Amino acid sequence: MPRYLPEPAYRHGTPEKTAVLLINLGTPEEPTAPAVRRYLKEFLSDPRVVEIPRPIWWLILNGIILRVRPRKSAEKYASIWTDEGSPLKVHVERQAKLLRGFLGQAGHQLLVDYAMRYGQPSIAATLARLKAAGCTRILLLPLYPQYAASTSATAIDVACSWLQSVRNQPELRSVRSFADHPGYIAALAASVREHWASSGQPGDSYRLIMSFHGLPRYTLDKGDPYHCECQKSGRLLAEALDLDAQRYQVCFQSRFGRAEWLQPYTAPTLRALGKQGVQRVDVICPGFPADCLETLEEIAIEGRAEFLRGGGKEFHYLPCLNDRDDWIRALADIAETQLRGWPTHAPQQAELELSALRAKALGAPS
């Protein structure tokens, strides 16, 4: 017999609510080797993330990776940690708060929360909390502009798994991706123009590097659309900035292991551009709506070192969209599009009281 989670207490006349749940990848709770080990074990145990046969991968993960990598990764996390905590968690929490306020100003009465696929707050726990708060309709909005099975799909997997444990299920909808959303592209373009205005217009010896998170090459061969959606976002951003093909380049970062990943790789590209005599590069990470280890350490610190080591002169890292007003407006537009048809305004008190009286008249318990 299936075992379901206990249902929260219910009273007739309680208004049904609608919620938006932002979902991001996750982060260790602190920049220490034990915390990073827990995080990496959950992350790298996901079969959506690593598609190597389980017995072989279990030996590699537990026998090598989790013995060596946590300490090195913890040092990197410590270099970008803030007084408020993990940059990723800080930014996502702010995005949820700002989105709640923006949707409220637009007349919507919604709950807006956030969760992490790996680590805390977990997707299952947050969904349970929203359900206990009276939410019968929940929109899942993974903060991955470009769809990948290892990001968007695994987040939805966990939400659906939680749904299987619930007796009285809420309605769920999900945003698949927003790689070509006009507001998203416009916010990226505006951030680049603002950077040019403050740091100077780029000269002839210039490249705008658009660095996306990498994936193994086999994901493209097996039909994952991620590579194509990254290329589309890059092309649309370049068009919005009036950049020709010689002035920008789409690259892929965060390669892990020895297998071939999507190319070109960001770090070697930066080093090669320096050797070729390119004087200035600006690097933006369109696939990351919030700054994190992969942007603040891998690009802003390691990427800078690669370019300067190659002979480049001027390196600029452009922050992620984070809590920009234009990005929050775009996020609200993405949510509103998917919320259509769902009530997003609280019913009047008289209507609730009438509903409760009708239920009691038909024999419902008080």
Tokens of 184: 């998203």
Is residue 155 within 8 A of residue 23, CB to CB? The reply is yes
Instruction: Give the containing element (helix H, strand E) for 2.
Output: none
Q: Which residue ranges are tagged as binding site?
A: 213, 294
What are phi and psi for residue 226, nearest 5 degrees?
-55, -50
Is residue 271 within 8 A of residue 307, CB to CB? The reply is yes
Tokens of 50: 């690593």
Q: Which residue ranges are tagged as binding site for Fe(2+)?
A: 213, 294
Q: Which residues, other chains included, contact 16 with Cβ-Cβ below 8 Å and sequence gap of 6+?
A: 134, 135, 136, 137, 343
Query: Tokens 């100077």 label which residue?
Result: 200
Residue type, 68: V
In this structure, are strands 248-253 and 206-213 parallel, antiparallel, or unpaired? parallel
- Tell me if residue 252 falls in helix, strand or coil: strand
